Amino acid sequence: MKETRRSTAGRRLRACLFPLLLLPVAACGKGKASVSGTVYYEGKPMTGGFVYFEPEDGGAGGTATIDPETGKYSIEKLPAGKLKVAITPVGASQGRGGPQGGAFKPPGLDKIKDAKGPPDPKGFDPASSKAKPVPVAPEYRDVKSSDITVELKKGPNEDIDFKVFRVKK
């Protein structure tokens, strides 16, 4: 039986489209990561604040709270891969392009499900918190200006420490 042009074209079209169906599967292949560590300010554990993670290739990241007593942070359900990092102290503005005054509210936080972001500034009582504001250099506070990056592998990533200063070194 002789093939028609239509059946040959249909077969070619299916052959071209099939690899496109695999793209979403390949994109999901990176998986999810968790990360924990300590943030150091001027060589000592930072006394509270937030660590914001944003994927270099775009998409939703996440925010971790820095424990005011130990400087430790942890967060789950981040995308594996290379992420930009911003570190903001309690009560500071984000820096260029960020909110002015008040507690840091990272961009895209409203898109993140189950995010344990920074406290609502209206409900945050500095007197009852052990978190103390520190003058972190503005370059660290915004993922656009921060040169801090981290490569997360799928699964747990432990002891990922960050060092920030009053003046960027």
Q: Who has greater pLDDT, 70 or 106?
A: 70
- pLDDT for 90 equals 85
pLDDT tens for residues 85-139?
A: 999 998 765 443 333 334 444 444 444 444 444 545 445 555 566 677 788 898 9
- pLDDT for 86 equals 95
Asked if the model's pLDDT at residue 4 lies above 80, the reply is no
Asked if the model's pLDDT at residue 143 lies above 80, the reply is yes
Interval 13-29 mean pLDDT: 50
Q: What is the 3-state secondary structure (H, E, C) of the chain?
A: CCCCHHHHHHHHHHHHHHHHHHHHHHHHHHCEEEEEEEEEECCEECCCEEEEEEECCCCCCEEEEECCCCCEEEEEEEECEEEEEEEECCCCCCCCCCCCCCCCCCCCHHHCCCCCCCCCCCCCCCCCCCCCCCCCCHHHCCCCCCCCEEEECCEEECCCCEEECCCCC
- What's the order of all strands across the beta sheet hosting 81-88? 62-66, 49-55, 81-88, 149-152
Asked if the model's pLDDT at residue 1 lies above 90, the reply is no
**Contact (Cβ atoms closer than 8 angstroms) between residue 106 and residue 100:** no
pTM of the model: 0.64
- pLDDT for 125 equals 54
- The correct answer on CATH 2.60.40.10 for the domain covering 30-164 is yes
Asked if the model's pLDDT at residue 20 lies above 70, the reply is no
Interval 156-166 mean pLDDT: 94
Give the span between the Cα atoms of 75 and 50, in whole angstroms: 11
Give the span between the Cα atoms of 4 and 52, in whole angstroms: 58
Asked if the model's pLDDT at residue 158 lies above 60, the reply is yes
Mean pLDDT of the chain: 75
Q: Give the type of residue at 45.
A: P
Domain ranges for the chain, please list them: 30-164
